[in-house]
Every structure is written in C-alpha cells, then in structure tokens.
Amino acid sequence: MTPTARRHAREYALQAIYQWQLSETPAHEIEADFLTHQIRQKTDRAYFSEILNAVIKDPVSLDAEIEPFLDRKITDLDPIELAILRISTYELAKRPDVPWRVVINEALELTKKFGSIEGYKFVNGVLDRIARKLRANEIKS
C-alpha cells in the first residue's frame, strides 16, 4: 500500500476510535460502518482494521505506556489527542516496520488536522519520550 493509503487508514482509525471512546459502541459495529459507509478514499483497509481493533482491544496497556509521560491524568486528555496517542503508541510498540519518525510525523499531522490548535506540541512531546523508550535502538542508529 502507498503512504497515502496508510495515512487515510490512520485518519479513519482516529475517527472510529474517537467514536468508540465517546459512545462505547462495539468495535465490530464501528468497523463495519466505516468499511461500508465512511471510507471513501484509497485506504489501507487492513491497516485501518488492525489499528482500530488493537486500540479497542487493549486500551489499558496502551494507556500504561502513555501515562508516565503525561503532565495530567489520562482522563483529562482531549479525546482526539488521546486517540492519536493510543494509535501512535500502538505503532511504536507493535509495528517496527513503521519508522519512529514516520509514526510521530503522522501523529502530528493528525493532531494539526483534528486536534486543538496547540495540541500537536503536547502530542509531539509525549510521543518523543515514548519513542525513546520503545524504539531506543532505532533512535540510536
């Protein structure tokens, strides 16, 4: 798949995770809705499903990776920024095929597009520290 198709997959996953966080609609219903009705562009549908299901399946583990690097409670985070941090932490932890710089850059682009005005600065700071923990060997290279 192309980088653009992956970018679209992340965008749709963000929207789906945001919906899940607010409504707690079952993942399979959200996934089916997006795959059937929402996704309109060339999208890596398999990657969309992977990210969505991984985040919804185990947000507690992802949050445990994120929380040490926060300056506030995870429950106080903006839902968009939380979803982006969960997606990116998943990618940093489980997708070594995606370079850490790409993970962070994609997160910043998502935050600039969907998050608060200054949210990308916060997301960048948190993800930089998570990347240094989870991808220490890659960052040293």
pLDDT tens for each residue of 48-65? 999 999 999 999 999 999
123 pLDDT exceeds 80? yes
User: What pLDDT score does 30 carry?
Assistant: 95
Q: Token pair for residue 38?
A: 């929402």
Is 48 within the bounds of a domain? Answer: yes
Is 140 within the bounds of a domain? Answer: no
1 pLDDT exceeds 80? no
- Are 88 and 51 contacting, i.e. CB atoms less than 8 angstroms apart? no
Q: 127: burial class by Cβ within 10 Å (0-12, 13-18, 19+)?
A: buried
User: What pLDDT score does 49 carry?
Assistant: 96
Average pLDDT score, the chain: 95
User: What pLDDT score does 3 carry?
Assistant: 86
Q: Token pair for residue 27?
A: 């993942």
CA–CA distance, 118 with 131 (Å, rounded to integer)? 21
Is 141 within the bounds of a domain? Answer: no
Which residue range(s) make up the domain with 26? 3-134
Mean pLDDT across 29-44: 92
User: What pLDDT score does 141 carry?
Assistant: 62
Mean pLDDT across 89-106: 97
Number of domains in the chain: 1
104 pLDDT exceeds 80? yes
Mean pLDDT across 68-91: 97
Is 112 within the bounds of a domain? Answer: yes
2 pLDDT exceeds 90? no
User: What pLDDT score does 86 carry?
Assistant: 98
Is 139 within the bounds of a domain? Answer: no
Report the CATH number at residue 92: 1.10.940.10
